[in-house]
Chain A
Amino acid sequence: MSTLQNLCTMTAVATAFIAPVTQGHAATNQPRTLKIGQPHLQVYDFQLSAAAATFINGIVFDNPFATATVAIPAKATGLSLAASDALGAHGADRLASFAALEDGWAGDGRAMRFESLSALNAFFSEGPEFPSVPSVFLLKDGSLQVVGESASGGAVEIDFRSDGIYYYSESTDAEGLVEPTSAGYQRLASVIKGQEI
């Protein structure tokens, strides 16, 4: 199976979001390890055809028909580089295990919603700075939940729900719902800093 076929298969299975990393490498059709401390990521260089560019939804290329390099999680979880950085290998492992669960994993527990994963990826792409590595959990409705600490020390909960992003800050005892937009993610970053929003 070619690298591209392999990539497409994993993408189709996971319906995943693939993070573009760099461009300009020669097409090798062989994966290589990403050398920035991400043991769960492999980098693929390949030449995109028009059909492939159509097939792989979610990738934004400056030039979709040129050689491109993408990094994908080895377990095809769809975790972005930024999210993988923030959650670490342990968090990536947990997320991979969630992605394998089907409806009924806990009574009426729903399978992981990949829209929730996309929102989590977008959130971490805004660069929120948890003072320590946060934990990731799967909720019964299929949403992902990130729990960590704020800069002021209290717990912070963030649920990537279908109706928006729920947050709770223990230090300010504030909770609410924000839109999955850059402005919303910035508000969440303020919560993590221990600020009132």
Chain B
Amino acid sequence: MADVDKLDGAEEVLRAILQPQWDPALGRISPSLFEGADVSLSRLALCTEDEIFTMFFRDLDKPDRLVMGAGQLSVAAIEAVGANYQEKPTTLWVAPDPVSDIGHENPAHAVIPPKISRGLSRKLVAEMGQPFIEAQKYRAEG
């Protein structure tokens, strides 16, 4: 029954990156990007990249701190990072978590429920495919 709430490994997800977490000029992402529990992701199987960025801008942008972009990785890669983490092998999974709050609807929302340590977060950041997706691409089109 528990498997019902886990996404298939083949799914691709996006992790939003905020301005304080990304230094594009020097090409670095904070290794803390995935730290904590219930880390938010968005599923590319349910919404397009364009639609997801529109929701990022709607829900995450603040006047002094904009969404800068997103990193992409597969659910299978997330699971593998946890399983292969030598310091402390960890079972990671991605659970669907659609948001239905009026004005903040996001059918593509998902989370990584287990708490992620700095070490694991560092590995997940390294696993994200590059180049990262720049938000400006969608702001310009919008």
Contact = CB atoms under 8 A, between A and B. Distances in A.
Interface in A101-140: 101, 105-106, 133-140
Interface in B8-66: 18-21, 23, 25-26, 28, 30-32, 35-36, 60, 62, 64-65
B31 A147 contact: yes
B102 to A, nearest CB: 19
B32 A137 contact: yes
Contacts of B26: 90, 133-135
B23 A97 contact: no
Interface in B52-98: 60, 62, 64-65
A101 B65 contact: yes
Given A137-B20, A137-B23, A97 B64 contact: yes
Contacts of A168: 31, 118, 122
Contacts of A137: 20-21, 23, 30, 32
A98 interface: yes
Secondary structure class of chain B's binding surface, majority of residues: mixed
A133 B20 CA distance: 17
B33 to A, nearest CB: 9
B83 to A, nearest CB: 19
A168 B32 CA distance: 12
A190 B25 CA distance: 27
Contacts of B28: 135, 147
B36 to A, nearest CB: 7
A139 B35 CA distance: 10
A101 B31 CA distance: 20
B20 A106 contact: yes
A133 B28 CA distance: 11
Interface residues of A, number: 23
B65 A97 contact: yes
A83 B127 CA distance: 31
Contacts of B18: 105-106
Contacts of A133: 26
Contact of A105 (B23, B35, B36, B65): B65
A94 B60 CA distance: 19
A145 B30 contact: yes
Interface string B116-134: 0011001000000000000
Contacts of A94: 20, 23
A101 B25 CA distance: 21
A133 B26 CA distance: 8
B25 A90 contact: yes
A31 B42 CA distance: 50
Interface of A: 90, 94, 97-98, 100-101, 105-106, 133-140, 145, 147, 155, 157, 166, 168, 175
14 contacts: A94-B20, A97-B65, A101-B64, A105-B18, A105-B64, A106-B21, A106-B60, A137-B20, A138-B21, A140-B35, A140-B36, A145-B32, A155-B31, A157-B122
